Structure 1
Amino acid sequence: MGMTYFKRYRMEFDLRTWSGGANAPPAGYELVPYQPGLLHEHATAKYHSFREELDADVFPCLSRREGCLRLMREITSRKDFVPEATWLIRYLAVHPQTGERFSLAVGTIQGLAQEGWGAIQNLGIAPEHRGRGLGSILLAHAAAGFRQAGLRQMHLEVTTENTGAIRLYERLGFKRSTVVYKASEVAGARGA
């Protein structure tokens, strides 16, 4: 294992210019506001979203179920946690053989209030559910939650190699503000 530095962008969004418009999820999906009893579902969505992604190298806890659950507990127990900016997306399905209905947690976002800013934590969509606008829906609902909490700006960090996420954020109006580096001990890392 060696120390690797991952190059990340801090991206910012001015909520004062946001026109609102948090879309409903597509058919077969359910958007669920934060509730304390949903920690395991948020952790499951986080794990499936990040376990095989670059972010699991940057933040190793994302590569393990128990690490994702621990992270959710840490985020939601903070004084600056913003429940209104924390959402879950479930995929509603029917078992093809039994006809039994079930749901899978496939998307998550969490929010913190830091020094007057809404800070997005771990926006994640499970790979098989990407490309359906779910990330945009989660970001819009988090933005509405931050505004409801009285915040005027929000930000997030994204690893520069995550070009798909960067395109999404820029399309939604986020602007790159600074470059930051995250140090992480990783065996065979892919970092910058």
Structure 2
Amino acid sequence: MAAQAEQPEKLEILDLRHFQARDFVALLEEEVQVWASRLRWGFQPSCEIVRHYLDLRALTGYALLRGTAPVGYAYYVHEDYKMLIGDLFVSEPYRTVEAQHLLLEHVVEAAENTPGVRRIEAQLMMLDSNAVASLFPPSQLTVFERYFMLVDGIGQLRRETFGPRPAAEVTFEPWSERYMEPAAYLIARAYEGHVDSQINDQYRSAAGARRFLHNITQYPGCGAFHTPAAQAAIDSASGELCGLSLTSLVEPEVGHITQLCVSPERRGLGLGSELLWRSLQAFAKGGGEAASLTVTASNAGAVRLYERVGFRTIRRFRAYVWEGFG
């Protein structure tokens, strides 16, 4: 009689608050390696935050278990009327659409059962897009194609590929804390009616932009904020902030453009490309070899600029917004 085939062990879900950081050592080490190999991104600081909140029993989300061992997890943050899915990762041997869907399903259920939550936002770099299927009716889900782009050899880039320099009535200054409040108002104006304000609703108001700026300058989700490469564009006549490029380091030799925007009246005049050039050169001056950024695929003008100056898409991912269920 032939031996019976061994049945695969069932994967189960358990609240993250049953675990401590020591239970996630192997899984988080794998996630760090995946981000480094696929995106040249040092994910260790983000993992340290996960470990911290695991040990506090304060990380809201779910673990995917094989037996008693975590082989995946997803966590979320509740902010007033919305829920942000901070991360979702499944170990390679178990990284199936079904496993990812199971985690997402539990997060979505938590959102639906949280009073006042009407919106979920997610940008999950390692998620298989098929895992989202059937979680919500199409009328409640909006999907945005996005690109993770990288340029190597930033010290050898040529200025002429960035287009004409902007007119002399704009001056450029290194980023300073004194620009935080003007930057919040600039972001709200720059993203009015822009596709990215549909993805991240913090862009829709100065108050939301203020929270966004606090997050990217104080927390490592977009890398460690790197003041030496951040730039401010100032209208020479009025003294007002009219453009900015904010930057971080994701590896000692790799920078990241966390925000690049220009006031509506200054668009099309080469200001954005000049800010980008200056930030990339500042990275190179500090020993940087490469830089990355993310862009929404439908933002065709920005995509063309980045490709023209040497960026290439190394990963395609999706941003998701669920609304209308609260």
TM-score normalised per structure 2 = 0.51
- Find 1:7's aligned residue among 127, 141, 145: 145
* Fraction of identical pairs, as percent: 27
- 2:285 matches 1:148: yes
1:34 to partner: Cα distance: 0.8
Residue 45 of structure 1: aligned partner = 186
Residue 81 of structure 1: aligned partner = 225
Superposed CA deviations along residues 8-44 of structure 1, whole A, max 9, x for unmatched, are 0111111243246898642211212111111112222
Q: Which consecutive residues of structure 2, in runs of 5 or more, have no partner in the other structure?
A: 1-118, 120-139
- 2:156 matches 1:17: yes
Residues 1-192 of structure 1: pairs in structure 2 closer than 5 A:
2-14=140-152, 15-19=154-158, 25-78=166-219, 80-93=224-237, 102-115=238-251, 116-185=253-322
Question: Is contact 2:165-2:271 (8 Å) kept?
Answer: no
Structure 1 Cα separation of the partners of residues 203 and 286 of structure 2: 28
Alignment CA distance shift 1:58-1:10 (3 Å): same
SS at match of 1:103: coil
Q: Which consecutive residues of structure 1, in runs of 5 or more, have no partner in the other structure?
A: 94-101, 188-192
1:51 to partner: Cα distance: 2.3
Alignment CA distance shift 1:7-1:19 (3 Å): same
TM-score normalised per structure 1 = 0.83
1:7 to partner: Cα distance: 0.5
Residue 190 of structure 1: aligned partner = none
Q: Which moved more, 1:171-180 or 1:133-142?
A: 171-180
Could you say which structure has the greater relative contact order, defined with CA pairs below 8 angstroms and 6 or more residues apart? 1
- Aligned-CA RMSD value: 2.2
Superposed CA deviations along residues 22-73 of structure 1, whole A, max 9, x for unmatched, are 9864221121211111111222222221122001001110111111111112
Rg comparison, structure with higher value:
2
Alignment CA distance shift 1:178-1:90 (3 Å): same
Letter in 1 for 2:233: I
Structure 2 Cα separation of the partners of residues 62 and 151 of structure 1: 29
1:186 to partner: Cα distance: 5.1
Say how many residue pairs are matched. Answer: 179
Letter in 2 for 1:81: F
